[in-house]
Amino acid sequence: MKNFLFPCFILLFIHYSSAQEDVLFFQTNWGYSGKTIDFIKKAKDSGYDGIEIWASNIPIQQKTISQALKMFDMKVIFLCGSNPNLPYEKSLEEYIGYLKNTLEQNPIAINSHTGSDFYTFEQNMTFISEADKLSKLYNIPIYHETHRGRFSYSLPETIKYLEKNEINLTLDISHWMVVHESLLNKQKKLLDKVIQNTNHIHARVGFEEGPQVNDPTAPEWKNTVDRHFDIWESVILKQWNEKKVVTITTEFGPPNYMPTEPITRRPMSNQWEVNVFIMNSLKDRIKKIKN
């Protein structure tokens, strides 16, 4: 297995054509309180290629989203998920129906919150297997996000699944930073296995005690931010090596993910501006890789 965390591998990719080096950025509507069309326009104006939002099962909402996407020439990745509060059988039934409905809307991909940390290995694998069948049937990728509360809530638990199956992942490394109270600097071997299976990135910066720093532009978070960027770069290089388009969703969230002042609950930074900062910083880093 190739080790994609070694900096020397950068040299293998700089001669690829621009078509092979495409990176598409998506904005989350998590925490956005305005109209869908206004959100999509704002994302377009901010430099994004598309949006990532929870899929709707309501036809009128689906039509509104589809029309706005066409109007602004934007792509979409839909979020779907199983309901871990339901008994396993009921949750699986709803999940399959949700995926089918969403696939019919023809997104470029689906990001899935899959299973539960309280389901068994076999039960979680059934969710993954059913998603894989539907992905192949519709020829639309379904990525399973590394996420607290899901089958992929920790690095070693996710490895158990990868050792038994080939699973397409969305890597949101911020979750594991807090789960393991670590920036995972000593877990390179395990991270390499995850990176090999990663096809989509959720770009949020977590730390040892939480899933989101208060402001990634603050100097006290530099080492933490750099650590995340190094991991994201490894995924980018892996995708380019496989001649795949890279997709990245900037996913800093609103309160209570966003730390707030006491009493007033005023956010410590501007969510939209922070996500744009992450996107532009990644674009700058990508330029350096290419040059």
CATH number of the domain within which 167 lies = 3.20.20.150
**Number of residues that this document lists for the chain:** 291
Q: Where are the alpha helices (DSSP H) in 185-221?
A: 188-196
Q: What is the pLDDT along the chain (291 residues), one digit of tens a residue?
A: 444 443 433 334 433 444 345 999 999 999 999 999 999 999 999 999 999 999 999 999 999 999 999 999 999 999 999 999 999 999 999 999 999 999 999 999 999 999 999 999 999 999 999 999 999 999 999 999 999 999 999 999 999 999 999 999 999 999 999 999 999 999 999 999 999 999 999 999 999 999 999 999 999 999 999 999 999 999 999 999 999 999 999 999 999 999 999 999 999 999 999 999 999 999 999 999 988
CB contact at 8 A, 253 and 21? no
Quick check: is 98 in a domain? Answer: yes
CB contact at 8 A, 142 and 110? yes
> Whole domain around residue 233: which residue ranges?
7-290
Task: Identify the three-state secondary structure at position 53.
Answer: strand
Continuous segment of H or E residues that includes residue 210:
none
What's the one-letter identity of residue 13?
F
What's the domain count of the chain?
1
Quick check: is 214 in a domain? Answer: yes
The CA-based diameter of the chain, rounded to the nearest angstrom, is 54
Quick check: is 1 in a domain? Answer: no
Angle at 228 (CA atoms; ends 249, 156), nearest 5 degrees? 95
Quick check: is 2 in a domain? Answer: no
Quick check: is 148 in a domain? Answer: yes
Quick check: is 74 in a domain? Answer: yes
